[in-house]
Structure 1
Amino acid sequence: MKFRKAGLAAASVLTLALTVSACGDGGKKDSGSGGTDGGGKDSIKIGIKYDQPGIGQKTPDGFAGFDVDVATFVAKELGYDEKNIEFVETPSADREQALSRGDVEFIAASYSINDEREKLVDFAGPYLLAHQDLLVAADSDIAKGTDLNGKNLCSVTGSTSAQNVKKTIAPKANLKELSTYSECIEGLASGSIDALTTDDSILAGYASQPANKGKFKLAGLKLSNENYGIGVKEGNTELKDKINKALEKMVADGAWDEAVKKNFGPANYKNEPAPKIGNIVK
Structure 2
Amino acid sequence: MARFDHTVTVASLDRAWFEECARLVLDTAESTRARGGDIVLGDAGPQVVGIRLLKGRHLRPGARYEITSDAGEADAAWADGPSDDRIVTTVREWRRSTAIAVEQRMESAGLIARLAVRLRTPERPGALDVGFDVRDPTGGALQRVSGRAKLDLTAWWAAAAARPGSLPPARAPLAARARHRLGRARLTVTPRPAADGAWEVGVTLTVRGRSLLRPVAALALFFGQVPVRRAFRSGVDRAAAGWNEALASAPLPAADELRAELVKALTD
TM-score (norm 2): 0.22
Which has a greater percent of strand?
A: 2
Rg comparison, structure with higher value: 1
Larger proportion of helix: 1
Normalised TM-score (structure 1): 0.21
